[in-house]
Chains A and B, each alone.
Chain A
Amino acid sequence: MGIEESAPPFMLGTVESFVGWARAGSMWPATFGLACCAIEMMGTGTSRFDISRIGSEVFRGSPRQADVMIVAGRVSNKMAPIVRQVYDQMADPKWVLSMGVCASSGGMFNNYAIVQGVDHVVPVDIYLPGCPPRPEMLINALLELQEQVKSTPMGRNRREIAAAAEAAALTATPTSDMKGLLR
């Protein structure tokens, strides 16, 4: 009993939700593997986990054709400008998934060579913990990102919501002031 048999003559909805739905269904990742996580990302792309179930199997070699950049692995100081360039080459709208602790915060490599979190270089939409995260976790992160994308506001709404979020962030307690919470 699908939509073919009882198609309504018309449907109501917002452009926002329609565009979000259309965008979320096929997020193409840029082929951009850095380290250990890239191997798990490749594993996610192959048969046991099969990323194509969620519409992301088309790994694009050219960043211009990609929607989401999966930063899979540790970002060294030497690599950071290249990560930024790949991000700049991607066409809007674009999203960044920081895969694994090294990309998210530097992880166990707190030293001279590694950028302590790829968010120093590109804006990150979703962080995925793990060292390396299992393929199931990557799929979950992509699904979460799809939820974000589906509800992305547009036009005037977008500006209003961004302004409200910024105002709320300015009045919030900074993490460095949240003292005495680690027991």
Chain B
Amino acid sequence: MTPEQTMPQATGPDFDDPNAPEFTAYGGDWSEIADEAARLGQQRVVINMGPQHPSTHGVLRVMLEIEGETVTEARAGIGYLHTGIEKNMEFRTWTQGVTFATRMDYVASMFNEAVFCLGTEKLLGITDDVPEKANVLRVLMMELTRIGSHLVAIGTGGNEMGATTVMTTAFIGREDTFRVIEMLSGLRTNNAYIRPGGVAQDTPEGFVDYVRDMIPLVKQRLDELADIQLKNPIFIGRLKDVAVLDLAPAMSLGVTGPMLRSAGVPYDVRKADPYCGYEDYDFQVPTSTDADAYSRVILRLEECYESLKIVEQCAARLEELEGAPVMVADKKIAWPAQLSLGTDGQGNSPEHIKHIMGDSMEALIHHFKLVTEGFKVPAGQAYVAVENPKGLLGCHVVSDGGTKPWRAHFRDPGFNNLQALSILTQGGQVADVVVAIATIDMVLGGVDR
């Protein structure tokens, strides 16, 4: 074996015995297979889990080699949701790119939009020109989405371990955050609300009070989740000291987010490299040193409470910023129309349509040019990162000076964290694989893009 082959790998070298007998099982003939394997003195069984499996968080495929109930090798197969989003973005304008980006990690869509818009703004050199209210709204939406994403992680994780109440409780809380998101953007998910230069529309009337009413409702659900889970002996038995990922493997596999923080590194991009004005908010970064699945659930719950603190601060700021702009002042970049909600959904505001159709021919030309052709972005490349609920979400954007990205590449935290699946599961029980997948909390839409 060469030194390269002995180093830690998420995907190890191929099994190198060409003479190993192979058993294939379909349907209900497991006992025959097991008998045959026992007759031959073979203990090694390879089973395939997914891509259609209720506990793999979507279309993840895991190939498990088991001996009895013990996992001896685990490999993840991904790509079943590869959508070609990055290539598709090369044929759409920078503003249209947001609608593609938002559909990557569909549980935390606001972060995809934010990181792509921050990248675009960095290329344009208008990072500091984004109005304060737009930044507050971005932070508000991102934190609400973070709560929603963590609730999905905790809820579906509980459901996969057999506790449906955890899922229904978590989703009630998530629906409460959705009501606020919907009031602001008109959509539940895949919002395309954050745009290069600002956000799509201003807050509606009574919004701040609505946000304030939401906070205790979500807090109540978080309390309930903590009450029904954290002291439950079954829950503790399933999660405590399971799927342990210590600091060294976490660092060498590039794991970020709650998984890295559970291993003891308080790394959070919001604190380390603040964006959208995160340096002005008062919040903590919960960290643990237990490095197991149980500590990750606790960290996610604690992060939800911290996010609610940020949401409260956002509400206070929004009150002061009544009537402030939400788009950059540069009309060559800013989306010409203020959007408004009509009976048939979100669209251009009636005043804007009156202006371009009735008052000003130049306004119509400007609107037409900017919407069909888009704005030009100077040639160059930029890399930005935000703290997604799962970890560090990076975006590498390249412009050729035109109105469309030359290349947009996203580093999804789930893609990196999923590499740790082998280390988390090998040597453990088959049932712990589900726990490991649940606490990695990747979303396959983001992993495959």
Contacts and interface: CB of A to CB of B under 8 A. Distances in A.
Contacts of A114: 83-84
Q: Quick one: which of A35, A82, A111, A134 has the most chain B CB within 10 A? A: A35
B171 A43 contact: yes
A14 interface: no
B171 A109 contact: no
Given A42-B156, A46-B167, A132-B190, A32 B52 contact: yes
Nearest to A135: B188
B168 interface: yes
B99 interface: yes
Contact of A47 (B51, B52, B172, B189): B172
Interface string A36-62: 101110110011100000000001010
B48 to A, nearest CB: 11
A36 B189 contact: yes
A68 B434 CA distance: 25
A131 interface: yes
A48 B100 contact: no
Q: Quick one: which of B85, B103, B107, B156 has the most chain A CB within 10 A? A: B103
Contacts of B264: none
B83 A109 contact: yes
B448 to A, nearest CB: 8
B144 to A, nearest CB: 15
A43 B175 contact: yes
Contacts of B448: 76
A86 to B, nearest CB: 5
Contacts of B85: 109
Contacts of A163: none
A78 B80 contact: yes
A109 B189 contact: no
* Category for how many chain B residues contact A: 20 to 34
A47 B171 contact: yes
Contacts of A47: 168, 171-172
Interface in B260-312: none
A32 B290 CA distance: 34
Interface stretch (B53-61, B121-129, B240-248, B412-420): B53-61
Interface in B75-107: 79-85, 87-88, 99-100, 103, 106-107
A31 B54 contact: yes
Contacts of A78: 79-80, 82
Interface in B177-218: 188-190
A48 B171 contact: yes
A108 interface: yes
Contact of B83 (A43, A46, A113): A113
Contacts of A35: 58, 81, 83, 103, 106, 444-445
Interface in A122-164: 131-132, 134
Interface in A57-111: 59, 61, 63, 73-74, 76, 78-79, 82, 86, 108-111
B106 A108 contact: no
B259 interface: no
A79 B51 contact: yes
B106 A113 contact: no
B84 A113 contact: yes
B106 A36 contact: yes
B82 A113 contact: yes
A151 to B, nearest CB: 31
Contacts of A113: 82-84
A177 B303 CA distance: 57
Interface in B102-156: 103, 106-107, 152, 156
Interface in A14-40: 31-36, 38-40
A40 B188 contact: yes
Contacts of A131: 190
Given A59-B54, A109-B88, A76 B190 contact: no
A42 to B, nearest CB: 7
A74 B107 contact: no
Contacts of A39: 106-107, 152, 189
Nearest to B171: A46
Contacts of B84: 109, 111-114
Contact of B172 (A36, A46, A109): A46
A32 B58 CA distance: 8
B80 A48 contact: no
A36 B445 contact: yes
A134 B188 contact: yes
Given A61-B53, A132-B190, A74 B83 contact: yes
B8 to A, nearest CB: 28
B380 to A, nearest CB: 26
Contacts of B175: 43, 46, 48
A48 B51 contact: no
A79 B79 CA distance: 9
A39 B59 CA distance: 13
21 contacts: A31-B54, A33-B58, A34-B59, A36-B106, A39-B107, A40-B188, A42-B156, A46-B167, A46-B168, A46-B172, A47-B172, A61-B53, A74-B83, A82-B80, A108-B99, A109-B88, A110-B88, A113-B82, A113-B83, A114-B83, A132-B188
Q: Which 10 A-B pairs have the closest CB atoms?
A: A46-B171, A36-B106, A113-B84, A61-B54, A111-B84, A31-B54, A48-B175, A79-B80, A47-B168, A46-B168
Interface of B: 51-54, 58-59, 79-85, 87-88, 99-100, 103, 106-107, 152, 156, 167-168, 171-172, 174-175, 188-190, 444-445, 448
